[in-house]
Chains A and B, each alone.
Chain A
Amino acid sequence: EVQLVESGGGLVQPGGSLRLSCEASGFDFVAHYMDWVRQAPGKGLDWVGRVRHRASSYTTEYAATVKGRFTISRDDSRNSLYLVINNLRTEDTAVYYCARVLGGAYLDYWGQGTLVIVSS
């Protein structure tokens, strides 16, 4: 069974940093691109970015709104995906989901999400 479990969310002050983790199990993690998607309270889904697999040199893509502050990485030895967020802003308050990418294109499995609240 495919499982994705996010962790690392919490209450952070503006300007702070946070590292979110996503632990994967039940599938061949090394073979898949992985994405982060976020959802602000009461709002729609907002794609954050992607990390490709080793065969694609672990290259990344980001939404323009987060580029430069967000860094996506992965550790295939730990079946884990990471999202580092620097210089947090109140508008970064959201549930952050990790998702597996099917065939290099489609998000098929999602984790349950981890809530990040940016507030003083």
Chain B
Amino acid sequence: DIQMTQSPSSLSASIGDRVTITCRASHDISNFLAWFQQKPGEAPKSLIYGASTLQSGVPSRFSGSRSGTDFTLTISSLQPDDFATYYCQQSSDYPLTFGGGTKVEIK
């Protein structure tokens, strides 16, 4: 199985901060990487797919990038609505696998 190692597991940040979350795949997954946002008691919401394509309706402060098997989700200026848990997920091979999640909290 492809392991997705996500870091950090949690972070504290302030409104307006630039936030970066990283996911490393154990094997080459090309660009088959998606990012999700999940708030407590809610279903996950798709943010980015294909490593860097923004899902329709997602604010442009979110962006994704790839360098080899390392993937990054960046929030350019953290907003109150962004405090949530973020997950990466690979869809290159079965079984699909998720990172362990990053909880973004208010500093």
Contacts and interface: CB of A to CB of B under 8 A. Distances in A.
B91 A106 contact: yes
B85 to A, nearest CB: 8
Given A105-B32, A107-B34, A108-B55, A45 B44 contact: yes
A113 B43 contact: yes
Interface stretch (B12-20, B65-73, B76-84, B96-104): B96-104
Interface bracket on B: 20 to 34
Nearest to B32: A105
Interface string A15-29: 000000000000000
The binding surface of chain A is classed by DSSP as strand
A50 B95 CA distance: 10
B49 A61 contact: no
B45 interface: yes
B30 to A, nearest CB: 10
B92 to A, nearest CB: 9
A35 B98 CA distance: 14
Contacts of B99: 44
21 contacts: A35-B96, A37-B44, A44-B99, A45-B44, A47-B96, A61-B94, A61-B95, A64-B1, A64-B95, A105-B32, A106-B34, A106-B49, A107-B44, A107-B46, A107-B91, A108-B46, A108-B49, A110-B44, A110-B45, A111-B43, A113-B43
